[in-house]
C-alpha cells in the first residue's frame, strides 16, 4: 500500500500498490519483487514472451515458483476469447484439487505485456480474487496502474472496475525496443493529460467537481518531462522512455488515489474512444489508443484556444492561458516529428465530438460549450482546422 496525506478534500490518498520500479535492467529484480509469492502464473503473447516473458519463465522455474505460462497469439484483444483463454489456463498444477474447496490457483498472475494483456489479467485477477503484477513491455498506454479494465463485450467497449496491480516493473531497456509507433502512442497518450487536467480545472470552477491540486500538479510535471525530452524518442532514448513510464505510473496512481480517471483523461479521451468504437463496430482493428488521444488532444486544445479568444470571462481566459504554451509545444512536436494522425475526415471528426458529449456524463469543455449552444459551431471549426494541420 502506498499513499500520502493531502490538503485536498480527501485528506489522504492510498492505493493498493506495493511498488513500481522504472529503470534500466529492473527485470533482474523480479525475484525479489515476487519473494512473497510461491506460485506464479505468467501471461504473455509471442512478442512479449521474447521481450521479457522468457526471462520471467526461466527465473520463476529456477526458483520453483512457476505454476504455468500462457502465451497468447499475436495482437490479442481484450475480449471474451482472451479473458476466457486466461481463465481456462490459469492454475497451479502442483496444487491438489479439492472438491470441498476452490480449484488450485496460483497466488499471483504475472502479466507480461501492455494494453490487452494487462487489462485482461487485471479482470481475471480481480474476478478470481488473486493479485497480479505487470512487467510492461511497451510505453504505449497509460493504463498500467489503473484500477479499471477497458474490455470489449456486448458489442461495445466498457471499462470494468477492478483493482490496481500490486507492482509495475518498467525496464527501460525492454520498453525502448517496442515498435516506434507504440513509443509515439505513449507520448501521445501523455499529451492528453494537458487537456485532461484543464478539463478537470474547468469542472472544478464551473461545475463544482472535486479536484486535487497536488495530483494535478504531479501529472503536469511528468507530462512536461515527456514533452521536453520527447524529441529523443526516435533514437529510443532510455531517459525519454523512462519519462513516459513515469508519466503512466503517476497518472495511474492519480486515478487510484482519486477513485476516478480525471488525472488521466478528459474530453480528448472521450473523442478518441468514439473513434475506437466506430472502428470496432465496423469490424476494423482500432488504431493505437495513444495516437488517437494525441490527435484528439490537438482538437480539444484548439477548441480551448478558440474559447479563449471569444469569451469575456476573465477567469476562464486566465485558466486557458496557463495551458496555451503547452498546446503550442504539442503542435510543434507533432509537426516536427510527423506523428501519425489516424482520423482525417473532418465530418467524421465533427460528428465524433458531438457523439462524445453523450458518451460520458463528465463535465468537460464539451459540456461547457453545449450549455451555451456553441458546441456544434466549435466542433466544426476545430475539425476543419485540425485536418489542415495534419
Residues found near Zn ion in the complex (CB under 5 A): 6, 8, 142, 189, 212, 214
CA atoms of 197 and 215, how far apart (whole Å): 10
From the CB of 248, what's the least distance to Zn ion, in Å?
A: 9
C-alpha dist (Å) from residue 345 to 23, 81, 295, 312: 40, 32, 12, 32
Kindly state the smallest distance separating residue 285's Cβ from Zn ion, in Å.
18
Work out how close the CB of 106 gets to Zn ion at its nearest, in angstroms, rounded to a whole number. 30
Min. distance of Cβ 100 from Zn ion in angstroms? 44
Q: What are phi and psi of 113, to 5 degrees?
A: 160, -155
Nearer to Zn ion, 12 or 372 (CB): 12
Nearer to Zn ion, 56 or 233 (CB): 233
Q: In terms of Cα–Cα distance, which of 101, 123, 109 is closest to 39? A: 109
Query: Closer CB to Zn ion, residue 173 or residue 181?
Result: 181
**Residues 115, 140: contact at Cβ < 8 Å?**
yes
**Minimum CB separation from Zn ion for residue 291, in Å?**
11
According to DSSP, the residues that pair with 109 across neighbouring strands are 41, 132
Give the span between the Cα atoms of 330 and 109, in whole angstroms.
38
- DSSP β-ladder status, 2-5 and 19-23: unpaired
Of the pair 82, 114, the CB lying nearest Zn ion is at: 114
Of residues 57 and 189, the one with the C-beta less far from Zn ion: 189
- State the nearest-atom distance from the C-beta of 297 to Zn ion, in Å: 10
Cβ-contact 248, 118 below 8 angstroms: no
Of 252, 125, 120, nearest to 186 (Cα)?
Answer: 252
By C-beta, is 106 or 266 nearer to Zn ion?
Answer: 266
Amino acid at each position: 500500500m502506498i499513499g500520502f496525506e493531502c490538503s485536498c478534500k480527501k485528506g489522504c490518498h492510498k492505493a493498493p500498490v506495493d511498488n513500481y520500479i522504472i529503470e534500466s535492467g529492473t527485470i533482474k529484480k523480479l525475484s525479489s519483487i515476487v519473494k512473497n509469492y510461491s506460485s506464479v502464473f505468467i501471461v504473455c503473447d509471442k512478442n512479449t514472451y521474447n521481450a521479457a516473458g522468457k526471462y520471467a519463465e526461466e527465473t520463476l522455474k529456477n526458483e520453483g515458483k512457476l505454476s504455468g505460462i500462457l502465451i497468447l497469439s499475436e495482437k490479442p484483444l481484450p475480449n471474451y476469447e482472451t479473458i476466457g483463454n486466461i481463465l481456462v489456463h490459469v492454475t497451479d498444477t502442483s496444487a491438489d484439487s479439492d472438491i470441498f474447496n476452490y480449484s488450485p490457483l496460483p497466488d499471483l498472475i504475472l502479466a507480461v505485456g501492455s494494453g490487452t494483456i494487462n487489462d485482461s489479467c487485471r479482470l481475471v485477477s480481480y474476478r478470481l480474487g488473486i493479485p497480479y503484477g505487470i512487467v510492461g513491455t511497451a510505453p504505449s498506454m497509460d493504463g498500467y496502474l489503473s484500477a479499471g479494465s477497458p474490455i470489449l463485450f456486448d458489442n461495445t467497449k466498457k471499462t470494468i472496475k477492478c483493482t490496481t496491480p500490486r507492482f509495475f516493473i518498467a525496464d527501460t531497456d525492454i520498453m525502448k525496443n517496442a515498435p516506434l509507433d507504440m513509443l509515439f502512442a505513449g507520448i501521445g497518450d501523455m499529451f492528453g493529460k494537458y487537456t485532461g487536467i484543464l478539463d478537470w480545472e474547468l469542472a472544478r470552477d464551473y461545475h463544482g467537481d472535486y479536484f486535487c491540486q497536488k495530483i494535478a500538479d504531479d501529472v503536469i510535471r511528468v507530462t512536461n518531462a515527456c514533452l521536453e525530452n520527447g524529441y529523443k524518442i526516435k533514437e529510443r532514448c532510455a531517459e525519454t522512455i523512462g519519462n513516459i513510464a513515469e508519466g503512466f505510473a503517476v497518472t495511474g496512481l492519480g486515478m487510484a488515489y482519486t477513485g476516478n480517471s480525471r488525472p488521466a483523461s478528459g474530453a480528448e479521451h472521450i473523442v478518441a474512444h468514439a473513434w475506437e468504437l466506430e472502428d470496432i463496430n465496423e469490424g476494423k482493428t482500432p488504431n493505437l489508443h495513444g495516437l488517437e488521444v494525441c490527435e484528439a488532444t490537438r482538437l480539444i486544445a484548439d477548441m480551448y484556444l478558440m474559447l479563449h479568444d471569444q469569451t469575456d470571462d476573465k477567469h476562464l481566459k486566465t485558466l486557458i492561458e496557463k495551458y496555451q504554451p503547452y498546446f503550442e509545444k504539442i503542435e510543434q512536436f507533432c509537426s516536427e516529428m510527423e506523428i501519425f494522425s489516424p482520423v482525417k475526415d473532418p465530418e467524421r471528426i465533427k460528428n465524433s465530438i458531438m457523439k462524445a458529449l453523450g458518451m460520458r456524463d463528465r463535465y468537460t469543455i464539451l459540456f461547457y460549450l453545449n450549455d451555451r449552444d456553441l458546441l456544434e459551431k466549435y466542433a466544426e471549426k476545430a475539425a476543419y482546422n485540425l485536418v489542415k494541420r495534419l
